[in-house]
Amino acid sequence: MPRRLAVLLAAATAAATLAAPAAHAESLDYVALGDSYSAASGVLPPDPAASPLCLRSSRNYPHVLAAETGAHLTDVTCGAAETKHFTTAQYPGVPPQLDAVGADTDLITMTIGGNDSGVFISAILACGSAGILTLGQGSPCRDIHGSSFEDTVRTKTYPALVTALRAVRDKAPDAEVAILGYPWILPATGGCFDRMPIAAGDVPYLRSLQATLNDAVERTAGETGATYVDLSAASEGHDACQAPGVRWIEPVLQGTNPVVVHPNARGEAAMAARTLAVLGLR
């Protein structure tokens, strides 16, 4: 843990011992980066400080985390962000995300990588279309695309993640940097063709692709000195096939959020809780 963050946590603990309510003696300077899983795209209400193009929610996990810790939050998360948008503008009026990061930043969190090369959205669309054509039978997506999606993650997404995390570290060498894995979208087997139009044989195929993406994120964290927040165990049983009130991810059909295959408010709160636990902030 970077020294400044450790000092702030120690001060907060001492303050909590002496007085209530517990509060950080010195507020963490917290910058939230990342894509739609960080922005909580589709979760109401929207963040009034965000560009409408970013579809950022005021109930995303960075806001939950900041409320729990008393951190001073600068939230630049933006739906559809790729690693390149750390250093280049994503939309007019939406500057590079790293513009928000400085040498005195204490804490940085993110989900990123899922949009790179369009690999994950392309896989969801391709497998959904194939599943509809076979009425949910067989493994048409795997049969057509084979290892191509996972190959893209290994050869393109992973090096892009390393470059992005190194750029973060260059701007904030003393910050605690945490990168979250993506919570499970589908169960290990079976699926739910009425809500997620994925053929039964392609459910483990897409699950494997997500595992490969999360592995790339975890390896990037190890290579760049970031903390990996593993959501695989925590999100098991909370995929898009589960009932309302249980699932953390909204399905394509019969869901409650306008942005499908993304975390709902329950999922964002759970992502915040896991991040707080891994970082020792609660």
Catalytic residue numbers read 36, 262
Could you tell me the two tokens for 184?
A: 């499970």
Find where tokens 């007085």 sit. Answer: 19
- The strand pair at 72-75 and 29-32 is best described as parallel
CB atoms inside a 10 Å sphere around CB 14: 11
Q: In Å, how far are 83, 252, 256 from 240, measured between CA atoms? A: 25, 8, 11
DSSP string across 162-202: HHHHHHHHHH-TTSEEEEEPPPPSS-SS---TTTS---GGG
Side chain identity at residue 230, one-letter code? D
Show the CA angle centred on residue 12, arms to residues 9 and 14, nearest 5°: 110
User: Do 56 and 47 meet the contact criterion of CB atoms below 8 Å apart?
Assistant: yes
How many alpha carbons lie under 13 Å from residue 161 in its C-beta half-sphere?
Answer: 35
Find where tokens 């001492």 sit. Answer: 14
Q: Omega of the bond prior to 45 within 30 degrees of 0, cis?
A: yes
